[in-house]
């Protein structure tokens, strides 16, 4: 408290400059110390440091551009802590409330999905739980390949990020539990890459026993071939599972990467191309890129 008291004797603009070097969470807590701290913590000097330099351009190109003008940098910050649609509604932008780091989402329409224009393989439809106008649903294909591409200059610098494929699996889905899928994140010239494997759906033990009666060990042989293709990158104990989210969707971690100061190409991939069985029922909403903590 002695340190805070000594800061309190400084001019308000000096206190604002100091608070701007903290985090949004810290600034909010310190605003409770005194009326002078509150005034300093709410100043544009503080909140301009927590906003992206091009935040005005982002707002102007978003779905909130027609709303009432944002009266202060603090108001702008907290408005951007809720997702806004940008680039014609095909991408989403938001700020992490406690850190101010950028979260960036590419809708299914912004992804390169193999054969997504073939109505026999994929269908495009609306989903009331999606923030985007359309999602892509796998109808029938033995080959599932999805890539998302962007640049790290759209994200916060010097930050560890994770990339997540946001999906659902319909009740009528099939063929998604024979082989694990390959996932990968590649940054720049591939000097930094993250690879792994994930189960879209795990078979129940009862189903495994029934399958073995009809098909023998076909599944085990397929996984061995998958492991042979991956070589040292395959770890049967490290195959990840789909994780449930609070918004009614699930997510698959594609990998992680660290942004520096340079603006580099970023490629995020999901592939289930080793199993030749028909697959159906995978619903793709987006790839979300957010800081990891």
pLDDT band at 11 (very low <50, low <70, confident <90, very high): confident
Which residue, 63, 138, 84, 83, is CA-closest to 108?
138
What pLDDT score does 83 carry? 95
pTM value is 0.84
User: Strand, helix or coil at 221?
Assistant: helix
Determine contact, residues 201/175, Cβ cutoff 8 Å.
no
Cα–Cα distance between 243 and 248 in angstroms, integer?
A: 11
Which residue, 66, 81, 73, 65, is CA-closest to 43?
73
Dump pLDDT digits (tens) for 112-140: 999 999 999 999 999 999 999 999 999 99
Cα–Cα distance between 198 and 103 in angstroms, integer?
A: 23
Residue 153 has pLDDT above 60, yes or no: yes
> Which range (87-91, 177-181, 200-204) has the least confidence?
200-204
Cα–Cα distance between 69 and 87 in angstroms, integer?
A: 20
Q: How far is CA 87 from CA 56, 83, 119, 132, 268, in A?
A: 14, 13, 25, 12, 20
- DSSP class of residue 154 equals G
3-state helix, strand, coil in the chain (%, to 5): 30, 35, 35
Dump pLDDT digits (tens) for 212-267: 444 455 555 555 555 555 444 444 557 889 999 999 999 999 999 999 999 999 99
Residue recorded with tokens 């792994």? 196
Cα–Cα distance between 1 and 207 in angstroms, integer?
A: 63
What pLDDT score does 205 carry? 43
Dump pLDDT digits (tens) for 37-76: 778 778 888 888 999 989 989 988 898 877 778 888 999 9
Q: State residue 46 phi and psi, 5-degree precision.
A: -70, -55
Most confident of 2-16, 153-167, 221-235: 153-167
Residue 8 has pLDDT above 60, yes or no: no
What pLDDT score does 20 carry? 81
Q: What is the mean pLDDT of residues 132-157?
A: 97
Mean pLDDT for all residues in the chain = 85
């Amino acid at each position: 408290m002695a340190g805070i008291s000594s800061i309190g004797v400084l001019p308000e603009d000096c206190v604002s400059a100091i608070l701007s070097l903290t985090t949004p969470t810290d600034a909010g807590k310190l605003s409770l110390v005194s009326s002078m701290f509150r005034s300093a913590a709410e100043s544009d000097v503080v909140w301009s440091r927590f906003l992206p330099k091009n935040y005005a351009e982002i707002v102007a190109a978003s779905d909130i551009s027609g709303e009432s003008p944002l009266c202060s940098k603090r108001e702008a910050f907290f408005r951007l802590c809720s997702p806004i649609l940008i680039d014609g509604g095909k991408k989403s932008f938001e700020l992490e409330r406690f850190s101010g780091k950028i979260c960036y989402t590419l809708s299914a329409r912004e992804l390169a999905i193999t054969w997504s224009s073939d109505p026999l393989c994929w269908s495009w439809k609306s989903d009331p739980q999606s923030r985007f106008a359309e999602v892509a649903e796998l109808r029938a294909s033995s080959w599932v390949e999805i890539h998302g591409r962007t640049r790290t200059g759209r994200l916060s610098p010097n930050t560890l990020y994770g990339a997540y494929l946001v999906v659902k699996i319909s009740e009528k889905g099939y063929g998604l539990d024979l082989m694990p899928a390959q996932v990968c994140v590649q940054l720049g010239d591939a000097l930094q890459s993250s690879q792994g494997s994930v189960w879209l759906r795990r078979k129940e033990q009862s189903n495994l026993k029934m399958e073995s009666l009809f098909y023998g060990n076909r599944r085990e042989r397929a996984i061995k071939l998958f492991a042979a293709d991956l070589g040292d990158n395959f770890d049967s104990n490290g195959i990840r599972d789909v994780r449930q989210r609070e918004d009614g969707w699930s997510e698959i971690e594609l990998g992680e990467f660290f942004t520096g100061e340079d603006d580099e190409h970023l490629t995020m991939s999901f592939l289930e191309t080793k199993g030749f069985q028909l697959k159906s029922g995978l619903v793709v909403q987006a790839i979300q890129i957010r800081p990891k903590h």
